[in-house]
Amino acid sequence: MKKKNQASIVNRYILLALSLFCILMMVLSSFSEKAGGPFKVLANVTVIPLQQGINQIGGWMGDMTDNFETLEQLRTENERLQEQVDSLMTENNYLQEESYELERLQELYELDSNYAEYEKTAAHVIGKDAGNWFSTFTIDKGSNDGIAVDMNVMAGSGLVGIVVDVGPTWAKVRSIIDDSSNVSGMVLSTSDRCIVSGDLELMSEGEIRFEQMENNENEVTVGDQIVTSYISDKYLQGILIGYVSEVTVDSNNLTRSGYITPAVDFNNIQEVLVVTTTKAELTGEDQGE
């Protein structure tokens, strides 16, 4: 404890001596211009370099203060710009979503115009069965909205499927790609009829199959449109199913079969049009499946 007190006293004396020395140097500096001889030499050797060093330290500390202030300003500006970027990204995502929705609605509008002879109502998809494809799915309109079993459902550029079950506020749709689906179709240019069969495994290649088309003199080529047939008991006539991608003559040499590229993207269906009249109501018949 005694040694500690002694060290403290020594430090005080050193500090006092340094203070006196600084004061002395300041006095000598003030008289260095007027004084001559040894005082001027002493001032040039000690005081002036000391002042220069103090000035440099002061300038350095001033620069450091300015740098800290600039850094803080840059940090604040960066945070403000980041907020603007986040806001613009959110707005851009919203605009893109609106743009995609507008495209889909324009597509539905064109589809509605192409089949203006049928009364339709729009609905949103609210659920689907497991798997990548919309083979069966649920829409947000039901019997309260006039939806009934066997009503045809469209999207994209053509036929999606048919209503198979209805609740007060929902309806279940079975699409034409479902394994249990069979649609009576025909080639639009020749009226040759065929059966279009759903095949989920085949849909991995983006196609569905048609078969039982008569092998006659009518030429059916790739790109020909396949539409719903006039003899279909469930589907309204003339709704586009897809386009022929391949056609071959069967081994019996009596029929042809092949593949169709669907007119609808069955990997992504968000909105649909439901034709609010069934085939049976249009024909005045109550036909079975």
- Report pLDDT digits (tens) over 110-140: 878 888 888 999 999 999 988 889 999 999 9
The rounded mean pLDDT for the chain is 82
- Which of 49-63, 192-206, 238-252 is least confident? 49-63
CA distance linking residue 70 with residue 74, whole number of Å = 6
Q: Is 173 exposed, middle or buried (0-12, 13-18, 19+ CB in 10 A)?
A: buried
E strand map for 140-285: 152-155, 158-166, 171-175, 182-187, 193-197, 208-214, 225-228, 240-249, 255-262, 271-275
pLDDT at 2 exceeding the cut of 90: no
Compute the C-alpha angle 265/207/102, nearest 5°: 10
CA distance linking residue 175 with residue 177, whole number of Å = 5
> In the chain, pLDDT over 90 holds for what percent of residues?
53
Average pLDDT of 46-73?
Answer: 65
Domain ranges across the chain: 1-114, 120-279
CB 284 within 8 A of CB 277: no
Q: Which pLDDT score is estimated for 150?
A: 96
Q: Is 263 exposed, middle or buried (0-12, 13-18, 19+ CB in 10 A)?
A: buried
Confidence of residue 7 (pLDDT cuts 50, 70, 90): low
In the three-class reduction of DSSP (H, G, I as helix; E, B as strand; rest coil), residue 152 is classed as strand
- Which of 91-95, 125-129, 207-211 is least confident? 91-95
pTM assigned to the model: 0.65
Query: Higher pLDDT residue, 22 or 4?
Result: 22
Q: Which pLDDT score is estimated for 158?
A: 93
Topology of domain 120-279 in CATH is: Thrombin, subunit H (2.40.10)
Confidence of residue 29 (pLDDT cuts 50, 70, 90): low
